[in-house]
């Protein structure tokens, strides 16, 4: 792992550090941000384990954390997307590996898991619509749930990390299927409401797939873009920033709100040269 410190920590490394500090009994919010709380927990860990208490997670700190929790390390790393996963996926669909890697690089959130649970964001405005679709009046359930149930998108509602699961559990207590359909899941933050269009029998089956491995996140992102008929054609000279902007521009009103809820495929990058991908279930 790379050396990280407060203000200079990629999401995956920060999340991994937080997961191991939690496993070691230190109170941190695994939100993927190396803030003051994570720094304080790290300094305490370093001091109590005979390390230099400088708040920097370097080689010695990582080695100590990993040696204390080898089973957690193995379980977490088994969930991550590997180069072999990308190679296998590209070969199976007869795609160029750089195209698959570009989609991953542009549209993924860097890490699809918080510790060993799929990364989620709970969308209160989607929950409002899903309750209505299920024949439940959301207005009758707002009192006491203002942070998880509202008619319009509110970016201030997110709490991040595993705390999003607490929001989801409260929504499940109101109505399970609409709640699961209202969370976005994994590397590409795909909304659960797309479960059936991806060929799943129900949203629970979709959630189970999202809790398996990041390789499943990649496959579902490709399938979702095909199911939605995305056909952006971008010239080869486009850089990653241009690709991302044009993809999001093509996703409609929710494109700028929360990353890739409707999915992105290499067809968005390479045009009609990419083969058709259909749901597998």
In a 10 Å sphere around its CB, with 0-12 CB exposed, 13-18 middle and 19+ buried, how is residue 252 labelled? Answer: exposed
Confidence of residue 227 (pLDDT cuts 50, 70, 90): low
Asked if residue 136 lies in contact with residue 175, where contact means CB atoms within 8 angstroms, the answer is: yes
Confidence of residue 188 (pLDDT cuts 50, 70, 90): very high
* Out of 11-20, 133-142, 220-229, 254-263, least confident range: 254-263
This prediction's pTM: 0.75
Asked if residue 220 lies in contact with residue 211, where contact means CB atoms within 8 angstroms, the answer is: no
What pLDDT was estimated at residue 107? Answer: 82
Asked if residue 158 lies in contact with residue 121, where contact means CB atoms within 8 angstroms, the answer is: yes
What pLDDT was estimated at residue 15? Answer: 85
* Out of 17-26, 27-36, 139-148, least confident range: 27-36
What pLDDT was estimated at residue 69? Answer: 96
**Could you give the C-alpha distances from 18 to 29, 65, 98, in angstroms and in order?**
7, 11, 31
- Go through 91-126 and write b for each residue having 16 or more CB atoms within 10 A of its CB, e for each that does not: eebebeeebbebbbebbbbebbbbbebbbbbbbbbb
If one compares 1 and 142, the residue with the highest pLDDT of the two is 142
Tell me: pLDDT of 128 over 60: yes
Tell me: pLDDT of 251 over 70: no
What are the start-end ranges of the H helices in the chain? 11-23, 36-48, 59-68, 70-79, 83-92, 97-107, 124-133, 163-174, 176-181, 203-210, 214-227, 240-249, 266-270
Confidence of residue 11 (pLDDT cuts 50, 70, 90): confident
How many CB atoms sit inside 10 A of residue 147's CB?
15
Tell me: pLDDT of 71 over 90: yes
Tell me: pLDDT of 64 over 70: yes
CA 21 to chain CA centroid, nearest Å: 21
């Amino acid at each position: 792992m790379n050396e990280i410190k407060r203000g200079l920590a990629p999401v995956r490394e920060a999340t991994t550090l937080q997961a191991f500090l939690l496993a070691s009994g230190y109170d941190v919010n695994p939100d993927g941000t190396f803030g003051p709380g994570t720094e304080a927990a790290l300094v305490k860990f370093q001091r109590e384990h005979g390390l230099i208490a400088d708040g920097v997670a370097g080689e010695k700190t990582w080695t100590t954390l990993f040696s204390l929790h080898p089973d957690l390390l193995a379980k977490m790393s088994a969930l991550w997307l590997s180069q072999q996963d990308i190679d296998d996926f590209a070969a199976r669909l007869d795609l160029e590996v750089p195209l698959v890697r570009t989609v991953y690089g542009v549209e993924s959130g860097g890490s699809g898991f918080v510790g060993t649970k799929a990364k989620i964001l709970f969308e209160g405005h989607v929950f409002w619509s899903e309750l209505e679709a299920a024949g439940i009046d959301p207005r009758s359930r707002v009192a006491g749930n203002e942070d998880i149930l509202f008619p319009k998108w509110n970016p201030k509602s997110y709490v991040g990390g595993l705390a999003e699961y607490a929001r989801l559990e409260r929504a499940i207590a109101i109505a399970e299927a609409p709640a699961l359909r209202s969370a976005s899941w994994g590397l590409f933050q795909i909304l659960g409401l797309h479960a059936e269009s991806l060929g799943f029998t129900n949203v629970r089956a979709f959630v189970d797939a999202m809790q398996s491995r990041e390789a499943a996140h990649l496959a579902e992102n490709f399938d979702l873009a095909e199911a939605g008929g995305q056909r952006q054609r971008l010239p080869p000279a486009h850089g990653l920033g241009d690709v991302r902007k044009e993809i999001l521009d093509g996703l409609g009103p929710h494109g700028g709100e929360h990353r890739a809820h409707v999915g992105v495929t290499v067809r968005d990058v390479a045009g009609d040269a990419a083969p058709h991908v259909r749901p597998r279930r």
